[in-house]
Amino acid sequence: MICLGIEGTAHTIGAGCVRDTAGHCDVLSNCLRTYAPAHGGIHPREAANHHAIHLADLIHESLVTAKITPEDIDLIAFSQGPGLGPCLRTAATAARALSLSLNVPLIGVNHCVAHLEIGRGTIPDCTDPVLLYVSGANTQVIAFAEGKYRVFGETLDIGIGNCLDKFGRMLDLGFPCGPKIEALANQGGRYLPLPYSIKGMDMAFSGLLTAAEAYYRNNEPLPDICYSLQETTFAMLTEVTERAMAHTEKTQVLLGGGVASNLRLRQMVETMAKARGATLFVPTKDLCIDNGAMIAWLGIVMHASGIRMPLEDSMINQRFRTDMVEVSWR
Amino acid sequence: MTHQILYRGAEAEIRVSTHLGKDVVQKSRLPKHYRLPEIDHTLIAYRTREESKLITEARAAGVSVPTLYDVDLLGGVITMEYVKGRRVKDILNTLPEPERKNLCILIGKSIALLHNHDIIHGDITTSNMIIADGRVTFIDFGLGSKSIELEAKGVDLHVLMEAFESTHSQHPSCFHDVFEGYKQVFTGDADEVLKKIEEIVQRGRYR
């Protein structure tokens, strides 16, 4: 079976084709464009306009790259939520139109669950991981327990990516700020104390962001602030992930989301995993960030387990919680 | 002396030992090599100190906690009474309904006693409560703090609510029963705490 997946929850619009080969995910194509605001944060309408402009070309590109024709497509999947309404609606509308014109089934999927399933689908040894999902909007520690993907820890205020972006915007680093903060942090080495805020298994980043901004206003060297910002926030993420692993007694950890590209974060999670005798898995970068292939793969997984979605149930859900998904395929 | 490891958590090891002829457990916070030594040392000393202070205060508040015997701040080791019993996590799902309800009410009352003295446990999960001698003994104050804020009390109970949802989802009334007990003992305005919890739930992403 071949599925075309359309991702459109926030900055990224993506179209990807995947094939199910005996339960393994073969990524045939994974094309995307990213909306970068000229200044400030994401503007939902502007992002949706960007997506609408690029989506038709992207779908074409994803078919050409996959070396398939529209007739080869057996299933259309799209990101049903969570995300920004205008972006979700743009992707969903395109998916519905394709499903109707090609006369193939349509399936809406949960974006956060897709980040986890793409790890399980593309990495053979990754069977039952705790996912540390770190992106702009989302910061969640997710694992399968009692029939659902449950959130064992999450941010109580802003996502880690958003925290880094907000700090970077103050410095006019340009979107996305993460890689630039990482490069600056690599030049720093003096630790400036920042609040370390863990409540149970949940985290808070906004106070720490304010403290980092105060260091900047007090003319502390930027590399040291970036270094301290990364060291503190990533230690919090790693600690919560370890707590979830201890609680669920799982021995695999998976990274997902744009911030998973950060090498220092990977190093910290890997050190933690090794100390516990656990294994770290990181999907390839194009599958870590928001992308259409992961949406397509979750579509296949859900369809194979018998889930069908009538057109009238394909409304988007901006607040689609990870633990709202009935996981019938595990 | 080498001692049997009773439990290895994410943060610390619990070992069985003896102290002045008594069975004790030693909670040792282990260095975490993934984080900077600066962060690690500060966290370990701070959490060891806070935990031992809070355990003492919780006892004074009338909540069952292990008796403290020794605290080593630099080594991150707390030596305390060995509470021999079963974790609420392990028995809650198997208890008959009336007993489960009673246990939840008792848990709620104990949390209210803590909150009456502004003690925030910080990690109220069913793994951190032990049933022994008909009492619920609270362990692991490692993420605890003192706070007069309604917010802190709300977050404290919200942690338990999430633990129920993730580990005891087949018994959806547990949190309701806990709150019933909480309300009976809490000297502040329990309805305000409940409102705060609802606010915290709403504040979570994508609710």
Catalytic-labelled residue, pool B123, B140, B156, B177: B123
Which of B35, B120, B159 has the most A C-beta neighbours within 10 Å, making it the best mutation to test the interface with A? B35
Report if pTM > 0.95: no
Q: Which of B9, B34, B166 sits opposite A268 (nearest CB)?
A: B34
The 10s digit of each residue's pLDDT in A261-304 is: 999 999 999 999 999 999 999 999 999 999 999 999 999 999 99
Instruction: State both tokens at B182.
Output: 């909480």
CA distance A317 to chain B (A): 9
Write the burial class of residue A318 (CB in 10 Å: 0-12 exposed, 13-18 middle, 19+ buried).
Answer: middle
Same domain, B67 and B124: no
Domain A127-282 has CATH 3.30.420.40: yes
The 10s digit of each residue's pLDDT in A78-131 is: 999 999 999 999 999 999 999 999 999 999 999 999 999 999 999 999 999 999
Instruction: State both tokens at B166.
Output: 């993730």
Instruction: State both tokens at B114.
Output: 């803590």
ipTM of the complex: 0.89
Q: How many domains is chain B built from?
A: 2
Which of A154, A158, A247, A326 has the most B C-beta neighbours within 10 Å, making it the best mutation to test the interface with B? A247
Phi/psi of residue A286, nearest 5 degrees: -65, -20
Instruction: State both tokens at A215.
Output: 């260091």
Taking an 8 Å cut-off on Cβ atoms, the answer to whether A200 and B162 are in contact is yes
pLDDT band, residue B108 (cuts 50/70/90): very high
Q: Where are the domains of chain A?
A: 2-117+287-324, 127-282
CB contacts, 8 Å: B143 with chain A: 198-200
d(CA A252, CA A270): 11
Angle at A91 between CA A87 and CA A93, to 5 degrees: 115
Q: Show the domain range for B23.
A: 5-81
pLDDT band, residue B167 (cuts 50/70/90): confident
Taking an 8 Å cut-off on Cβ atoms, the answer to whether A146 and B169 are in contact is yes
Q: Is the pLDDT of residue A320 over 70?
A: yes
Instruction: State both tokens at B35.
Output: 């984080």
Considering B26, B49, B81, which residue would you say is the last residue of a domain?
A: B81
For residue A323, give Cα distances in angstroms to A141, A251, A326. 12, 21, 8
pLDDT band, residue B207 (cuts 50/70/90): very low
Q: Is the pLDDT of residue A56 over 70?
A: yes
pLDDT at site B171: 85
d(CA A12, CA A17): 16
Same domain, B49 and B103: no
Q: Is B70 a catalytic residue?
A: no
Q: Do you know the residue count of chain B? A: 207
CATH number of A2-117+287-324: 3.30.420.40
CATH number, domain with residue B103:
1.10.510.10
